[in-house]
Amino acid sequence: MKRNQFPYHSDRKWLLPTITISVLTLMLLLTIVGHSKPSSDSGSSFGQHNFTHLDHENGELGLPELPRFAYLITGTKGDGPRLKRILQAVYHPRNYYLLHLDIEGSDSERLELAKYVKSENVIREFSNVMVVGKADIVTYKGPTMIACTLHGVAVLLKKAKDWDWFINLSASDYPLISQDDLLHIFSFLPRDLNFIEHTSNMGWKEYQRAKPIILDPGLYHSKKSGVYWAKEKRSVPSSFKLFTGSAWVVLTKSFLEFCVWGWDNLPRTLLMYYTNFLSSPEGYFYTVICNHKDYQNTTVNHDLHYLRWDNPPKQHPMLLKLEHFDDMVQSGVPFARKFAKDDPVLDRIDRELLKRSDGHFTPGGWCLGSSFLGKDPCAIYGNPVVIKPTSSSKRLEKLIVKLMDSENFRLKQCK
């Protein structure tokens, strides 16, 4: 049973940019999310039952309207198969996906990725996956990574006009929960919450990030190379306060429209400042959001990723292995990084958490087929607003309620 072309909604309603999370809001969240009929086999309040959420386009009644996520999934040379695997793991007909292999990736890799997207009946039916043909150069230490991210956001704003949150993933990321779990929990959240781990305590970064001046040849060359360092140092700006944080975010469409379209000059001013800033992805969005009154009270200080760091921390987090599996699960977060290519822990995540077999999409309520004898349950599909949350949604629910607790929610915003 196939569905019609993926619909675009036109009747989206936005909450005020400045939100107040009260005990009443938390009680409502817990009442709605936590009091569903329990299941004997999962231990989750959601269980294995199907839930039909509200869909304005089709006039369906039930739980609140499901959100839509817009994913940017990026990689470099040799990452084509990894991007394909991540896409299969996070795919849902309601969402949008933009795949980008940077300029070091070959044209043949991009072509193979595009061929795969066109070969999948489900993706072709819902027309919700795009592959960047003209690749960007990404040097990571300079501003080109922010330029690549903003480019991806601009494409998603133009091509996918109805989504609620933007999520960036790399080839070394992987989901820990199904999209049914993520969509179900996020359907109860205000649509103006930005999940972005941040702090104004620059610490050592003030001297190693903010004061040095760098020039990235990636801005004008077509090949990757190291950044150039100026002899001079610059002082910390006085017209805005610097913030830093994780490069992995879950940001609202409203905020990203502000960054890309910039009806206020702040996003452009900060983009120019971060052009000469080492590791600008660790600062740009955080400084924009915390220096503007319309968005500084919408932040949840968490990036929804599971990471492990060496002691003392290095520039990049540790590679996750099988021994980290239980800790990852108990964290309740929907994503984790970094993983080595085809590490056995990914197979365990597929098998035990996503219930996904090799080469197939993570099954959800929209999948009507059977997995008997290795068949793809999503080869036959139905209504995307019917979802089937698992026990993982209970862990995510617990994390979200903790993050939104009135005792610490405001205290961790843009401080």
Per-residue model confidence as pLDDT tens for the chain (415 residues): 444 333 323 233 322 233 333 333 443 444 333 333 333 333 333 334 677 776 655 555 567 899 999 999 999 999 999 999 999 999 999 999 999 999 999 999 999 999 999 999 999 999 999 999 999 999 888 899 999 999 999 999 999 989 999 999 999 999 999 999 999 999 999 999 999 999 988 888 888 888 989 888 888 888 788 888 888 999 999 999 999 988 999 999 999 999 999 889 999 999 999 999 988 888 999 999 999 999 999 999 999 999 998 766 666 789 999 999 999 999 999 999 999 999 999 999 999 999 999 999 999 999 999 888 778 999 999 999 999 999 999 999 999 999 998 877 888 899 7
Task: Indicate the domain borders of the chain.
Answer: 37-201+244-412
State the Cα–Cα distance between residues 170 and 137, nearest whole angstrom.
Answer: 15
Helix 23-34 vs helix 392-403: angle between axes, to the nearest 10 degrees? 180
In this structure, how many other beta carbons lie within 10 angstroms of the beta carbon of residue 236? 10
65 with 12: CB under 8 angstroms?
no
Of the candidates 344, 351, 278, 343, which has an alpha carbon nearest to the alpha carbon of residue 315? Answer: 278
> What dihedral do alpha carbons 305, 308, 314, 319 form, nearest 10°?
-90
Residue 8 confidence (pLDDT): 27
At residue 35, the pLDDT reads: 33
Task: Quote the strand ranges of 114-184, DSSP E.
Answer: 129-131, 165-170, 173-175
For 219, phi and psi rounded to 5 degrees?
-70, -20
Neighbour-count burial of 51, counting CB atoms closer than 10 A to its CB (0-12 exposed, 13-18 middle, 19+ buried): buried
Rounded Cα distance between 255 and 288, Å, is: 9
Place of tokens 């089937």: 388
Interatomic CA distance for residues 222 and 218, integer angstroms: 7
Residue 54's pLDDT is 64
Angle at 400 between CA 398 and CA 402, to 5 degrees: 70
Q: Where do we find the tokens 């050592």?
A: 204
If one looks up domain 37-201+244-412 in CATH, what number appears?
A: 3.90.550
How do 305-306 and 386-387 pair as beta strands?
unpaired
Contacts of 301 (CB under 8 A, 6+ apart): 196, 197, 198, 403, 412, 413
**pLDDT number for residue 53:** 74
Helix axes 107-119, 80-90, angle to 10 degrees: 30
Q: Tell me how crowded residue 272 is: count the other CB atoms within 10 A of its CB.
A: 10
Q: Are strands 194-195 and 386-387 parallel, antiparallel or unpaired?
A: unpaired
Q: How far, in Å, CA of 135 to CA of 88, rounded?
A: 22
Distance (Å, whole) CA 101 – CA 109:
8
Which three-class secondary structure state does DSSP give residue 350?
helix
Q: In this predicted structure, what is the pLDDT of residue 17? A: 30
For 190-276, strand residue ranges (E) read 194-195, 198-199, 212-215, 228-233, 244-245, 250-252
Supply 348's token pair: 């365990």
Provide the phi-psi class of 188: left if phi over 0, else alpha when psi is between -120 and 50, else beta. alpha
Tokens 């080469």 map to which residue? Answer: 359
The pLDDT value recorded for residue 141 is: 84
Give the integer Cα–Cα distance in Å for 32 and 131: 38
